Amino acid sequence: MNETVETRVLGTSDAEIAEAGQRLARGELVAFPTETVYGLGADATNDYAVARIFAAKGRPSFNPLIAHVADLEAAEALCDLSEDARRLASAFWPGALTLVLPLKTGAPISKLVTAGGKNLAVRVPSSPIATALLRAALSPIAAPSANPSGKISPTTAAHVLSGLSGRIEAVIDAGPCPVGLESTIVGFDEGPALLRAGGIPTEAIEACLGTKLQRHTETGTPTAPGQLASHYAPKGRVRLNATTPEEDEFHIGFGTIDGDISLSRNGDLQEAAAHLFEMLHIADATGCDICVAPVPDTGLGRAINDRLTRAAAPRG
């Protein structure tokens, strides 16, 4: 998209949510808060609007997108839910879980959302602003994270504006996102499989299903498309498991390792997840190389380490 549009910053009043819903219904792009990260929303039934998402993000390829809906009934109108899917939906929706499910024949979803495939990724967000917007828009909203392709996901409206100002019609500013990591993605093609670690810990999903999730690292197959090894890329080099910084490195601490800033001084993984992208944005703004203290690889720590590993991966 070469032309520049004026990006309106909207608050969370009923009138502003209604305006945002009308803009989506007109095919405009509206970034909005969810409990995980800010999403770049378009009407999921409108090919033209969904195509504009890829242009605004500068996405290299047409990866499939998550359709956000207001409630389970709205998800059921689009997809078939297996017994396992239903169990996860009732335990974790609304919330930071995306289910990849067979799309119903004739469901009014743009083929760009599924990348022409037979499955739709669907999520019921818990943010009350997202819910209000979904009800105002009167249709499912396709939304990737609201960052330019390959950049750090946004957890504030300011992050959204720094990447996408002039490329989207509006952003709803509702302050920082409480979870701070993208949703966990589970698919069911050959039994339940973890396609992306995220805001709901893997252990909680496995406890709910009473079975282990397949992991792409174990099977070599199921994974969410578009998960590049290098992602969430700050400008500087990123070094992990750093207890002490090298000269000129900006150090992100955790627990007893203080750093220049800390993900969580108490070693609280939930707090660390909520702060992760904000800290990477701050570190990135210094222009320095970045190093990060070790984070335990359990619960939300798994998703935090997944994002850090991508931030540290060699750039393609």
Look at residue 272 and give the partner it binds from ligand TXA, Mg ion, none, a contact being a CB closer than 5 to 8 Å depending on partner kind: none
Task: Kindly identify the residues of this chain, within the stretch 158-217, that bind ligand TXA according to CB under 6 A.
Answer: 182-183, 185, 195-196
Look at residue 195 and give the partner it binds from Mg ion, ligand TXA, none, a contact being a CB closer than 5 to 8 Å depending on partner kind: ligand TXA
Cβ partners under 8 Å of residue 185, min gap 6: 98, 99, 100, 121, 194, 195, 196, 198, 224
- Strand ordering across the sheet containing 289-292: 238-239, 289-292, 249-253, 261-262
Report the 3 state secondary structure along 180-194: CCCCEEEECECECEE
Is residue 119 near ligand TXA by the rule CB under 6 A? yes
Q: Which residue in the block uniquely carries the two structure tokens 């992602």?
A: 231
Q: Which of 31, 42, 65, 304 binds ligand TXA (CB under 6 A)?
A: 65
Q: Which of 114, 145, 184, 305 binds Mg ion (CB under 5 A)?
A: 145
Q: How far apart are CA 292 and CA 294, in angstroms?
A: 7
Continuous segment of H or E residues that includes residue 164: helix 157-164
Bridge partners of 120, per DSSP, are 101
Is residue 95 near ligand TXA by the rule CB under 6 A? no
Is residue 144 near ligand TXA by the rule CB under 6 A? yes
Residue 156 Cβ, how far from ligand TXA at the closest point, in Å? 14
Look at residue 12 and give the partner it binds from Mg ion, ligand TXA, none, a contact being a CB closer than 5 to 8 Å depending on partner kind: none
Continuous segment of H or E residues that includes residue 120: strand 119-123
Is residue 230 near ligand TXA by the rule CB under 6 A? no
Look at residue 259 and give the partner it binds from ligand TXA, Mg ion, none, a contact being a CB closer than 5 to 8 Å depending on partner kind: none
Per CB under 6 A, residues contacting ligand TXA are: 34, 36-37, 39, 63-66, 98, 100, 114, 117, 119-121, 123, 143-145, 182-183, 185, 195-196, 224-227
